[in-house]
Structure 1
Amino acid sequence: MEELYDQYRALLFTLAYQLTGSVADAEDAVQDVFVKACDVHPERLEEPKAYLCKMVTNHCLNLQKSARKKREMYVGPWLPEPLRSPETDQLETTVVRRDLLSYAMLVLLERLTPTERTVFVLREALGFDYPEIADLLGKQEANCRKLLSRARSKMGISEEELITAEAVELEWVSRFLTSLEQGNVDHVMALLTEDVMFIADGGGKASAFRHPVQSCEHVAQVLLDGLRSLRSHFQGDFHFEFAPLNGETSIVIRSKGETVAALFMQLRHSKIARIYAVRNPDKLVRV
């Protein structure tokens, strides 16, 4: 069992994290599955990858159903918990489509039903074949193909868009942060798309907009006002860091050892189309 844990832990964690959007829930899912697997007869573990993935999938499907009820009472928008990228490539080597680990993709996954999300993650992110997915979910292959097509439609993305997704590089993030700190509205607006959207998750525990902010002018003003508010609240005693979160370069704001926020950006034609700000302190513990 220790060998199986070393071999499949990263894969199972990746699967659970993409299905739940929560690092804590993903860790719990993996631990729970391996505890239960200790009581499984060795004959049932002749194909350990399939069996363990099925156990994690069922665990997360049950978790998703209860999580949806909790999120109905959540204060403001709900965003996934950020995941610090591993120092080694252990996680990345288990993922066929690394771009699907992106934070923007996790946000889009929230549009799907638990079953649609499971099919999408297994097929697009982890490269499972349709027969494997059908066996894991106890469904027909044709049904799984329909679920994937429906998932793509709900997410509003095509296969081409998945392949050509723009990576957020350190140099680009640095340029954006410099423009923001200079306080020039025109410079900030030049880096935003016309329909840019700013979404913040405070969870009722940190100040954040209760609804998404949209349009180039409004988002630029929100960003500049937010920076002024930080300077006033922390009396200038805060700093920005570039952090490797969810396989991309993100901005983390810290003050006196406390993580204040984590910011993710999604690009379109080399301009910011979405900004996600995680402010809920419960989701910043591991950042």
Structure 2
Amino acid sequence: MSETTSSTGSDALYAKYKPLLFSLAYRMTGSAAEAEDVVQDVFLQWERRSPAERSLEHPKAYLCKMTVNRCTDLARSARARRETYVGPWLPEPLLTSSDYDDPAAYAERDETLSYAMLLLMERLSPVERAVFVLREAFGFDYEEVAGLVEKTPANVRKIMSRVRAKLEADPAEADAPIDRFAAELLQAFHHASSTGDMEPLFRRLAPDVVLLSDGGGKVFAATVPIETQPRVAAFLGGLLRKPPAHAEVVPVVVNGGPALAIFEGLDRSLRTIMSFRFAADGAVRGIYIVRNPDKLSHVSRQLRIP
């Protein structure tokens, strides 16, 4: 029996589909704040429709289509804004620990939620990103995706083939035991900050490691990517040798992977989220540091201050 609005009220639809729509919007925009706004806008638009217009056989498909359309519009304006963004742009971190409210957990955690993949998806056009997310993260079939992006199933298949070529996976990262690597890395960070001995931490860095730091021009951050083991080691060494006053480092899970939440000051404010990308051998290949306060508000609400 098809779901209809005659049997499912607007409040029930909101409760049922908010996690799905948030997950979809976040994967398409890389911003938890924008995803929340998109969900609110979509349901406000839904409420403005007449009862006759809302008597649809498939409200799920309609809500998803509105979300895709809204995110596509946002993506076009976001690209223009990023041309003037100060320093590297990083996605807004999303806490994905089972201990917290986790709207992203609607979909089974997969590579589309990871920090590295969100950055790779920035290469895609809005339509390509929508097709990839709908197919890979949420398992919509080609006919369903075609209806949501207003393409034919044949076109959607071609788009998916093109996207997979753009997002060719790195085999060195397959089947990495992330939990063990994360525990060892955290131990190396604590050792470095407490003793000043950086060697165990530096040994964890891959030769081709890349560090991206996003301050948005509002707080201190590297304004260009830092590449190679010696340069990244020197940057981290400078940070750890002069830690801020009253700093507390807490391990968290961000975007399905290991991260560190750094609280500073007497008010225990969250100032930094640092997440990592591992190779299969445990070497750190990517370090992503988010310090832009605008991008920490969502995860600050999720985290309990230590």
TM-score (norm 2): 0.85
2:275 corresponds in structure 1 to: 264
**SS at the partner of 1:206?**
coil
Q: How has the CA–CA distance of structure 1 residues 268 and 7 changed in structure 2, closer, same or farther, with 3 Å as cutoff? A: same
Partner of 2:155: 143
Q: Check if 1:246 corresponds to 2:279.
A: no
From 139, 146, 154, give the equivalent of 1:127: 139
Shift in Å, 1:248:
2.7
Structure 1 contact 19–118 (Cα < 8 Å) conserved? yes
In 1: Cα distance, 2:158 partner to 2:191 partner: 45
User: Does the residue aligned with 1:241 lie in a helix, a strand or coil?
Assistant: strand
Tell me, yes or no, if structure 1 residue 186 matches structure 2 residue 195: no
Distance (whole Å) between structure 2 residues aligned to residue 239 and residue 150 of structure 1: 44
Match of 1:210 among 220, 223, 234: 223
Q: Is the 8 A contact 1:168 1:267 kept in 2?
A: no
Distance in 2 between the 1:218 and 1:90 partners?
36
- 2:89 equivalent to 1:75: no
Residues 189, 201 of structure 2: 8 Å contact kept:
no
Listed as ranges, the gaps of 5+ residues in structure 2 are: 1-9, 300-306
Q: Which residue of 1 aligns with 2:188?
A: 176
CA distance in 2, matches of 1:93, 1:263: 21
Whole-angstrom distance in 1 between the partners of 2:246 and 2:109: 40
Q: Equivalents in 2 of 1:266, 1:5: separation in Å?
A: 35
Distance 1:279 1:154, change over 3 A: same
Residue 105 (structure 1) aligns with: 117
Cα pair 1:98 1:125 within 8 Å, conserved: yes
Write the deviation string for residues 49-77 of structure 1: whole angstroms up to 9, x where unpaired: 11110010000000100111001010011
Q: What letter is aligned with 1:175? A: Q
Residue identity matched to 1:255: E
Deviates more, 1:217-226 or 1:42-51: 42-51
1:13 is aligned to 22
Tell me the percent identity: 41
After TM superposition, the score normalised by the length of structure 1 is 0.90
Tell me the residue number matched to 2:303: none
Q: CA deviation at 1:93?
A: 5.3
Larger mean Cα displacement after TM superposition, 78-87 or 95-104: 95-104
CA contact (8 A) 1:242 1:252 kept: yes
Distance 1:199 1:268, change over 3 A: same
**What's the CA shift string for 1:145-177, capped at 9, x where partnerless?**
22222222223327x788646535552342232
Secondary structure, counterpart of 2:66 in structure 1: helix
CA deviations on 1:78-124 (whole Å, 9 max, x unpaired) are 00111122646864652145343122221221121111111111111
**Which consecutive aligned stretches of 4+ in structure 1 deviate over 6 angstroms post-superposition?**
160-163
- Number of residues of Structure 1 aligned to a counterpart in Structure 2: 282
2:294 maps to amino acid: D
State the match for 2:75 in structure 1: 64
Offset at 1:246? Answer: 1.9
Rounded to whole Å, the distance in 2 between the matches of 1:165 and 1:60 is 32
Q: Which of the residues 287, 290, 302 maps onto 1:275?
A: 287
Q: Is the 8 A contact 1:20 1:26 kept in 2?
A: yes
After superposing the two structures, state which structure 1 stretch, 84-93 or 126-135, moved more. Answer: 84-93
Structure 1 43/278 Cα, relative in aligned 2: closer, same or farther at 3 Å?
A: closer
Pairwise CA RMSD of aligned residues? 2.2
For the residue of structure 1 that corresponds to 2:207, the secondary structure is: strand
Report the Cα distance in structure 2 between the residues aligned to 1:242 and 1:267, rounded to whole angstroms: 16
Structure 1: which amino acid aligns with 2:82? R
Compute the displacement of 1:241 (Å). 1.1
The secondary structure found in structure 2 opposite 1:116 is helix
2:62 corresponds to 1:51: yes
